[in-house]
């Protein structure tokens, strides 16, 4: 699979949808839930606000936001792939009181007005966009002044560093073998290649400022294996 290929990425997530949540739990030892909670706490969504979950997948982050935005708030979960959205819709049907709606769409061309959201999150989505810089520009377009967003993803580490070697070993000896048991070996083998083209933390900060954000700060998560970009419009 070629990193940045939008159709291939969409097919990957359609294929992975039935086992995606279990895979995430296995591959991160359940820690991805903690990292997402920390991101949400740092962004401090408030009741009544309108938030976006871009590349929302099966919806766990959008639902967590929905629980914090009541009463009067709204979450719009957007994903290019239909199968994960179907899983997300099934999950939200079990909590119909949450103010969450789902839309199939492209994070590079959102069907939303300018300055229409108070905040946004994106977990493991920026790296999969065909053009991360364009994704940041589109995110800035839909955020109101002083809006904030958090983008959580794998961190591209300095080549030759001990951390990079550990990350590479983790991807090759944990991620791919576990995915192979679910019949998704080829789909997850692309992760390492996708990291090779992904902007590192300082590059993400620069791209965010170029996109029009007033503030951008990237910090390591999980000992540097992951990274969190926090931006303010």
- Domain 17-156+195-232, architecture per CATH: 3-Layer(aba) Sandwich (3.40)
pLDDT at residue 97, rounded to an integer: 94
Q: What angle do CA 213, 200, 197 make, to 5 degrees?
A: 110
Domain ranges of the chain: 17-156+195-232
Each residue's pLDDT, cut to its tens digit, for the chain (233 residues) gives 555 566 656 666 666 666 667 777 777 778 888 999 999 999 999 999 999 999 999 999 999 999 999 999 999 999 999 999 999 999 999 999 999 999 999 999 999 999 999 999 999 999 999 999 999 999 999 999 999 999 999 999 888 888 888 888 888 888 888 778 777 777 677 788 888 889 999 999 999 999 999 999 999 999 889 999 999 99
Q: Which tokens in the block code for residue 99?
A: 């103010």
Q: Tell me whether strands 215-221 and 143-154 are parallel, antiparallel or unpaired.
A: unpaired
What is the predicted pLDDT for the residue at 2?
Answer: 56
- The rounded distance, in Å, linking the Cα atoms of 169 and 162 is 11
Give the contacts of 66 (CB within 8 A, at least 6 positions apart).
73, 75, 92, 95, 98, 99, 100
C-beta neighbour count of 185 within 10 angstroms: 14
pLDDT at res. 13: 66
pTM: 0.90
In the numeric block, which tokens belong to residue 189? Answer: 């083998």
């Amino acid at each position: 699979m070629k990193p940045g290929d939008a159709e291939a990425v969409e097919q990957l997530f359609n294929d992975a949808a039935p086992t995606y949540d279990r895979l995430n739990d296995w591959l991160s030892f359940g820690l991805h839930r903690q990292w997402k909670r920390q991101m949400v706490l740092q962004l401090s969504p408030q009741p009544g606000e309108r938030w976006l979950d871009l590349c929302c997948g099966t919806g766990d982050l959008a639902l967590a936001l929905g629980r914090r935005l009541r009463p009067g708030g709204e979450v719009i979960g957007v994903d290019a792939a239909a199968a994960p959205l179907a899983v997300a819709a099934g999950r939200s049907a079990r909590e119909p009181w949450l103010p969450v709606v789902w839309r199939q769409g492209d994070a590079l061309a959102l069907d939303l007005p300018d300055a229409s959201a108070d905040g946004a999150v994106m977990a493991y989505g920026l790296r999969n966009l065909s053009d991360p810089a364009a994704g940041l520009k589109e995110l800035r377009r839909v955020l109101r002044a002083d809006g904030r967003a958090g983008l959580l993803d794998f961190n591209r580490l300095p080549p030759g560093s001990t951390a990079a070697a550990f990350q590479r070993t983790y991807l090759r000896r944990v991620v791919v073998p576990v995915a192979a048991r679910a019949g998704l070996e080829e789909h997850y083998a692309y992760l390492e290649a996708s990291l090779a083209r992904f902007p590192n933390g300082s590059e993400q900060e620069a791209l965010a400022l170029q996109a029009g954000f007033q503030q951008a700060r990237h910090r390591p998560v999980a000992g540097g294996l992951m990274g969190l970009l926090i931006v303010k419009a």
